[in-house]
């Protein structure tokens, strides 16, 4: 198979990592698309997807052979990965490049602001879920959207402060990016960085992104 129509994983564990990401995407949105962009040197590929509630997420996989930039169906790619078994190479499903909507964040130039314990992120998401459940009997789609837009986490760095809405934290939670948050679990954090109008929440197993509107949420300290 040519590099333009195939993926070749570095090892079986890398295929499993990608399958975990694709499986969560397919459950959240059976029609979801994923966009694969190969990194420099061909040793890693970043896979992006839009969640149904409007958050861009990504996970990197060690793929030594991949197209430079391709969009395919998440469910179709998951089926191909699962069918391959121990085979490190798979055929890429039918491409849907023209169907991708939205910008991608920059690859380089990120300015690190701070690290936040995963337990803090999980606590904020749980509090939001409890609030949503409490208003569920009398709530509406508008109330749910308002809650997701709630300014849940403020992070400051050397000379910047950013505010992340609950929907971005929820995205990291729903995609399993936070990892082990049980009592006594590994000490893990998420890193918050900015680049231009983008904010990245980089968790142990993937990243969620937020694009600021008109620069109103990035301000000097």
Do residues 94 and 76 make contact, with C-beta atoms less than 8 angstroms apart? yes
What integer pLDDT is reported at residue 27 of this predicted model? 95
What integer pLDDT is reported at residue 175 of this predicted model? 96
Strand order through the sheet with 63-65: 63-65, 6-9, 89-91
Q: What are phi and psi of 53, to 5 degrees?
A: -100, 25
What integer pLDDT is reported at residue 186 of this predicted model? 64
Q: Which domains does the chain have, with CATH numbers?
A: 3-99 (3.10.150.10), 111-219 (3.10.150)
Please, what are the averages of pLDDT over each run of 10 residues along the chain (221 residues)? 72 91 96 91 85 95 89 97 88 95 93 95 92 66 78 92 95 93 73 96 96 54 33
What integer pLDDT is reported at residue 219 of this predicted model? 39
pTM for this prediction = 0.89
What integer pLDDT is reported at residue 5 of this predicted model? 84
What integer pLDDT is reported at residue 41 of this predicted model? 61
- Give the separation between CA 175 and CA 192, rounded to whole angstroms: 17
- Give the separation between CA 40 and CA 51, rounded to whole angstroms: 26
- Give the separation between CA 212 and CA 198, rounded to whole angstroms: 6
Residue 35's nearest CA partner among 20, 12, 10, 57 is 57
What integer pLDDT is reported at residue 218 of this predicted model? 42
What integer pLDDT is reported at residue 44 of this predicted model? 85
What integer pLDDT is reported at residue 132 of this predicted model? 77
Q: What are phi and psi of 143, to 5 degrees?
A: -65, -40
Beta-bridge mates of residue 23 = none
How many Cβ atoms are within 10 Å of 75's Cβ, its own excluded? 20
Rounded to the nearest 10 degrees, the angle between the axes of helix 166-174 and helix 141-148 is 90
């Amino acid at each position: 198979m040519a590099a333009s129509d195939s993926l070749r994983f570095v090892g079986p564990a890398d295929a499993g990592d990608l399958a975990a990401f694709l499986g969560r995407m397919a459950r959240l949105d059976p029609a979801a698309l994923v966009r694969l962009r190969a990194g420099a040197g061909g040793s890693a590929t970043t896979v992006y997807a839009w969640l149904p509630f409007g958050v861009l997420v990504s996970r990197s996989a060690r793929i030594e052979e991949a197209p430079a930039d391709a969009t395919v169906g998440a469910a179709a790619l998951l089926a191909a990965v699962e069918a391959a078994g121990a085979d490190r190479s798979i055929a890429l499903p039918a491409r849907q490049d023209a169907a991708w909507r939205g910008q991608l964040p920059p690859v380089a130039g990120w300015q690190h602001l701070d690290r936040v314990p995963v337990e803090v992120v999980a606590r904020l998401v749980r509090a939001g879920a409890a609030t949503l459940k409490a208003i569920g009997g009398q709530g509406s789609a508008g109330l749910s959207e308002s809650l997701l837009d709630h300014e849940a986490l403020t992070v400051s760095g050397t000379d910047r402060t950013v505010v992340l809405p609950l929907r971005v934290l929820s995205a990291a939670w729903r995609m399993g990016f936070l990892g082990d948050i049980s009592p006594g679990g590994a000490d893990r954090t998420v890193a918050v960085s900015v680049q231009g109008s983008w904010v990245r929440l980089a968790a142990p197993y993937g990243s969620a992104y937020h694009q600021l509107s008109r620069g109103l949420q990035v301000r000097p300290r």
